[in-house]
Structure 1
Amino acid sequence: MRSVKEHVMEEPALPPAQGEEEHVSLALANSSITLPGGHTVDLLATPARANRWLTARGLAPVDAGMLEMCTTQLRSLREQIRSLLASRTAGLPALPAAVAAVNDAMTRVPTAPLLHWDDEKGPYRATPHPTTAIVEHALAALAADAAELLTGPDADRLTACGSAPCNRYLLRHGRRHWCSTRCGDRARAARAYARRGRPGAE
């Protein structure tokens, strides 16, 4: 049996899937993309790439200085969210560990503006966001968005791309079940090829 070697490519070959602009957690889930021929695009493969990904979505400054440990946390949350999306689209029970991971990320940082007191200006409220907690705040925002996606009105539109081997998720628009035009073309070509191979087909 011939083994397929996995190649990690430098740049994504697909445009954002439907729904990624509305839900950053969907973009996170789709940040590791399986392409034909055993190729994989991982936008979080290195700390620098993870920093760029977060910066592009307003979740971290350009000079956040991501460490490998932080990148590992981000990739871990990605897998837990992917697990929840898979459970939701298949109508299956969610893994308790995935639910716990999302809840843990959401509750790791304060969500309410806390009371502070300035000796000169007096009391005021602000949400703490120290530079040492950039990743924690990013993870919390991603987890909160995932919870909203899974429980909000868009949940019924959530689906997996119907063109193998693509592993991306999207919000269905009409009857469309593909994350990109290219995946749609590949799926239609596969169906046409299958029809030609049936007995009696012209």
Structure 2
Amino acid sequence: MNETVAVGTQEAALPPAPGADRYRSLDFADTAATLPAGQSYDLLAAPGSAMRWLAAHELTTPDVRLYEVCARRMRTLRDHVRAVFAARVEGVAPPEESLRAVNQALTAVPTAPLLAWDGAQGPRRVRAHPTDQAVNHALATLAADAADLLTGPDASLLAACGSAPCDRFLLRTHGRRHWCSTRCGDRVRAARAYARRNDASE
């Protein structure tokens, strides 16, 4: 049986994959991962951890309180973004449902900060919204980022981690890079060394 662990911080899980510093949508897709020994983690599993992820990626402010329905919407969009990324990596058409979900997130709200008037400061741009609107803006921003990645010059660099059972995505910023983290790379190299030793002993 797989054991899913709700992790509150990115540091407690695998480190960000190559390319996550350029594309928040890549890090968003990797907020859930399958690990060896039947374990997995989900950084969006609970409203509190989902809120911390949004705040850490400057997609909302720490004072916005998230509820389960909002965290569930984040997880749903993440699944659709993952499906579109996987289709790009495999060179196949993405599921229509996933394309529709990304486009709905893109068009749900304007992603630009709104114009507001403050009696003391005058006109200014703000991102202050009720919780549901704050989440809408965050999801729209992530969907736009995913669309930019998929249609931009880095699209050909998008890859799936080559260390089973890890199912994270990365940008192959180096030609020989096939893994999302040092830990995954070490696991593959150890498995290869073990196989070579077994072959030599037979």
TM-score under structure 1 normalisation? 0.86
Q: Contact between 2:29 and 2:81, CA under 8 Å: does it hold in 1? A: yes
Match of 1:79? Answer: 79
2:94 equivalent to 1:94 = yes
Q: Distance in 2 between matches of 1:128 and 1:110?
A: 11
1:34 counterpart residue number: 34
Gaps of 5+ in 1: none
SS of 2:19's equivalent?
coil
Q: Is the 8 A contact 2:60 2:134 kept in 1?
A: yes
Pair 1:108 & 2:105 matched: no
Q: Which amino acid aligns with 1:6?
A: E
Number of residue pairs matched by the alignment: 193
> Contact between 1:110 and 1:127, CA under 8 Å: does it hold in 2?
no
Identity level (%):
53
Residue by residue over 1:171-202, the C-alpha shift from the partner in whole angstroms, topping out at 9 and shown as x without a partner, is 0022101111111111111122233344x666
Deviation at 1:169, TM superposition (A): 0.4
Distance between the aligned counterparts of 2:115 and 2:191, measured in 1? 60
What's 1:138 paired with? Answer: 138
1:75 maps to a residue whose letter is R
Structure 2 alignment gaps of length 5 or more: none
What secondary structure does 1:182 align onto?
helix
How many angstroms apart in 2 are the aligned matches of 1:149 and 1:115? 28
Cα separation, partners in 2 of 1:10 and 1:169, compared to 1, 3 Å: same
Secondary structure at the aligned position of 2:5 is classed as: strand
Q: Say what the alpha-carbon RMSD is for the aligned residues.
A: 2.4
TM-score, length of structure 2 as denominator length: 0.86
Partner of 2:195: 194
1:158 is matched with 158
Q: Which structure is larger by alpha-carbon Rg, 1 or 2?
A: 1
Paired residue secondary structure (1:41) = strand
User: C-alpha distance in 2, partners of 1:33/1:20?
Assistant: 15
**Matched residue SS, 2:154:** helix
For 1:115 and 1:186, the matched residues in 2 are separated by 51
Deviation at 1:160, TM superposition (A): 0.5
One-letter amino acid matched to 1:181: T
The answer as to whether partners of 1:9 and 1:39 remain within 8 angstroms in 2 is no
Deviation (angstroms), 1:114: 7.5
Query: Contact 2:6–2:46 at 8 Å: present in 1 too?
Result: no
